[in-house]
Structure 1
Amino acid sequence: MSDARFIPPQLNPLFTRLIQSIFYLVAYFGYKIKFVIDDRDVAQLKAISHQRVVYLPNHSNLDDGLVVFLLSARLGQLFHYIVAYEAFAGLIGKLMPMVGVYSIRRGVGDRYSIKQTLQILQQPESKLVIFPEGGCSYQNDTVIPFRTGAIELSFKAMEKLIKQEADIPDFYLVPVSLKYTYPQATDAKIAESLGGLEAALSIQPVKEDFYLRLRAISAQVLANLEAEYNVTLDLTDWNQRIEYLRKHLLDYCEEKLDITPATELPNRERIYKVQAILRSLDNTTAKQSQINYEHLYQTTVRLLNFDAIYDGYVADNPTPERFFATLDRLEREVFNIDRPKPKGLRQAVVKTATPINLKKYYQNINSDSSRQQVINNLTQEIQQQVQAYLN
């Protein structure tokens, strides 16, 4: 299996065990993360340690991969992980395959990644992590719709195993909730982040109320984006403005690349397709087509950053966690950065639902239509269980 656009796993058990042994300290001092999981959840996962398991966590933060790696260390197990191709950059990107990470190109049918996934899922006692949201939501306690791909691939792997073994094997799916909390005092950090954004946007804070200051910053960012993309609306409802802006930016990207809009797909899938096409262009092609590559790509980054945001997210439940999730998004936009600095020590709280044995479902499938219905129902059930624990 060789392709310049696919990075296979090169799991080195000795190296991975070494990294696991020190990673609690790395996470705590380097990323301000303290890993938290209940002993009952650990016991529940260790009870299926000799089975094939697919872990399905929500994806609210760019540090989620670190947290799942901490879970593997807590269990004393070796995991494989599917990660977006563009994440394999720098020294860390070169080390990632050695701990079981391999790539997937979003927005295209990545047959190399799919083939690798099926091979891993057929291995005895395999453990694989797939983020079913398909990308980062940037919201600490809500999920975006789960995709069906993880469960579809699990069923395909089971079919291959049945042909080899003439028996239906045990095969587990584990819904995983990842949630970050800030146990220490946070007002100073909120004030610091608000002040930095206000200075960058030339906003003079007129009130001490954090929420009103956050709204003023958000209003300026929204107005700046509308001005940059020549959007003129006579609307006072922020959610209508946000939704229109999202549509306008996505239409702009697809029009520039001459892509027929696949309106039946979620916006996120359409954005990934745009990014995939942009990455396939060389400088000559981009210049000949008069494509402003940098601006188009920045537009897709903005679309993903604000994909799940809505007016009222903080007001509905003004916790420090929701403040910080929103401030992180605004800092990404205003300062053009990928990973804002952690705003204090975070507890990464991991909760797992009861493992689901696919064997029980597979026995009741008697047609392609019933199989798809089972996959859809399971996807929805897992999403609901993850959201329930986040609540």
Structure 2
Amino acid sequence: MNRYRMRFAPNVWTPKLNPWLVNLLAPLRQKRQWSELRIRNTRIVGEQIVRDALEDDCGVLLMPNHSSHADPFTIYAAADSIGTALFVMATWHVFDGKPWLTQQLLRRHGCFSVDREANDIGAFRLATGILQDKKQPLVLFPEGEIYHCNDRVTPFRDGASAIAVAAARKAKRKIVCIPCAITYRYDEDPTEQLTETMGQLEESILWRRRTGRPLDERIYHFAETLLAVKELEYFEQAGSGPLPDRIRILGDHILSQVESRHGIETSTGSVPERVKAARRTIIAKIQDGESTPETANKLKHKLDDDLEDLFLVVQSFSYPGDYVKAKPTIERMAETLDKFEEDILRQPTASIKAERSVRVQFGDPVEVSGDRKDKGQTTRVTGEIESRVQSMLDEGVQWRLSADTNSQ
């Protein structure tokens, strides 16, 4: 997972969408999609759904799953096929520290920043304004993080739906949320590259390469060892039982301890939402600066340790524990090794193992009501979109299997 700097946004980047420039640079995006991501083919399903909504002058919110660093290129490839530019909400880390020209190109492509650790009212109002007035769709990734689990969605956060609901309450046109499922598959066999990565990972924990054993078995045993190391760190003994249960117990223990240290009431929300609330509290304390110089460094070290604990919670949450064991496909093994490559070998992004194709499917829109009395609408829309995206991902798995059958 990406190791973001844990602080509030130092700046705000607003969009300066230029559809003419977006269209002009389409060949460059396609070239980079191949040269950097090894994606040769993009298949779009249901693009007419988006076209119809735009032709009806709806405010359109696209809500895709977010399993890969390739997703921004992929969603823009789909937009090129539809014939529209996009507005895209992205974490401020996408802009921060980048060259000025890169920042400007992102802004001309409709990208704008959001501070996910704060109540970013500015980004919220900007997003609602886009849905109310602009003819281009707005893209929000409701999962919030890249989890490298292409076959399963992780819980969608309510933020995207909340923006749509807020927009609908004042809009003079219909606001719709359109589910979007992005599925990747390998067109070349990446087994050799995956095996090499697995060997590097085993050597990183002082193992010899366990050649001769099935790759899925090596992945599972490696994951079990990493979990045992963390259990020894936090519980002083390794756990037992199914991996998903052990991952959940460890994450809940760490998160509860952090919440307790900062007087945060444990909620029934999802792990990412609880982490977000705790992280916001800690970052505010770091930037508050109320401690004396004598205690400032000691306090900061403790707060930094708590932020590192929270990162570990999200990191462990991204590993379902049974993802490879339940269905050891080449894509699932590759995704898990991608995660290990970033988390254990500390690569900024995982290496691309082989040539790939991608399928982007749009589903039927969910219309959002402007009825202020409908208090449960945000949660309901989030759940509906999440369910539809998962159903389309299941169809994407069949597309992936059909390619395997045809290649035999």
Deviation at 1:121, TM superposition (A): 1.4
* TM-score using structure 2 length: 0.83
Deviation at 1:129, TM superposition (A): 0.3
**Partner secondary structure for residue 54 of structure 2:** coil
* TM-score using structure 1 length: 0.86
Q: Distance in 1 between matches of 2:356 and 2:309?
A: 30
- Tell me what 1:165 maps to: none
- Tell me what 1:88 maps to: 95
Matched, 1:135 2:145: yes
Q: Distance in 1 between matches of 2:185 and 2:19?
A: 32
Query: For 1:48, which of 48, 53, 72 is the aligned residue?
Result: 53
Give the 4+ runs in structure 1 shifted more than 4 A: 277-280, 282-286, 292-295
**Partner secondary structure for residue 69 of structure 2:** coil
Matched, 1:104 2:114: yes
Letter in 1 for 2:393: L
Q: Distance in 2 between matches of 1:132 and 1:292?
A: 31
- Tell me what 1:227 maps to: 232
Aligned CA-pair RMSD: 2.5
Letter in 1 for 2:124: I
Query: For 1:78, which of 59, 77, 85 is the aligned residue?
Result: 85
Matches within 5 A, 1:287-326: 287-292=297-302, 295-326=305-336
Q: Which runs of 5+ in 1 are unaligned?
A: 163-168
Query: For 2:202, which of 191, 194, 198 is the aligned residue?
Result: 198
Q: Distance in 2 between matches of 1:161 and 1:43?
A: 24
Deviation at 1:378, TM superposition (A): 2.6
Query: For 1:20, which of 18, 21, 26 is the aligned residue?
Result: 26
Cα 1:301–1:95 change in 2 (3 A) is farther
Q: Distance in 2 between matches of 1:381 and 1:245?
A: 30
Aligned residue-pair number: 374
Cα 1:104–1:218 change in 2 (3 A) is same
Q: Which runs of 5+ in 2 are unaligned?
A: 1-8, 395-408
Q: Is the 8 A contact 1:88 1:94 kept in 2?
A: no
Deviation at 1:278, TM superposition (A): 4.8
- Tell me what 2:40 maps to: 34
- Tell me what 1:247 maps to: 252
**Partner secondary structure for residue 372 of structure 1:** coil
Deviation at 1:29, TM superposition (A): 0.9
Deviation at 1:319, TM superposition (A): 0.8
Q: Is the 8 A contact 1:107 1:270 kept in 2?
A: no
Q: Distance in 2 between matches of 1:373 and 1:271?
A: 23
- Tell me what 1:166 maps to: none
- Tell me what 1:342 maps to: 352
- Tell me what 2:126 maps to: 116
Q: Distance in 2 between matches of 1:134 and 1:313?
A: 20
**Partner secondary structure for residue 53 of structure 2:** coil
Matched, 1:376 2:382: no
Cα 1:34–1:301 change in 2 (3 A) is farther
Cα 1:225–1:95 change in 2 (3 A) is farther
Letter in 1 for 2:105: L
Deviation at 1:109, TM superposition (A): 1.6
Letter in 1 for 2:34: Y
Q: Which moved more, 1:54-63 or 1:200-209?
A: 200-209
Cα 1:155–1:312 change in 2 (3 A) is closer
Using the aligned pairs only, state the percent identity: 21
Cα 1:16–1:278 change in 2 (3 A) is farther
Q: Is the 8 A contact 2:239 2:246 kept in 1?
A: no
Q: Is the 8 A contact 1:15 1:98 kept in 2?
A: yes
Deviation at 1:304, TM superposition (A): 2.2
Letter in 2 for 1:189: Q
Cα 1:72–1:206 change in 2 (3 A) is closer
- Tell me what 2:13 maps to: 7
Q: Is the 8 A contact 1:24 1:35 kept in 2?
A: no
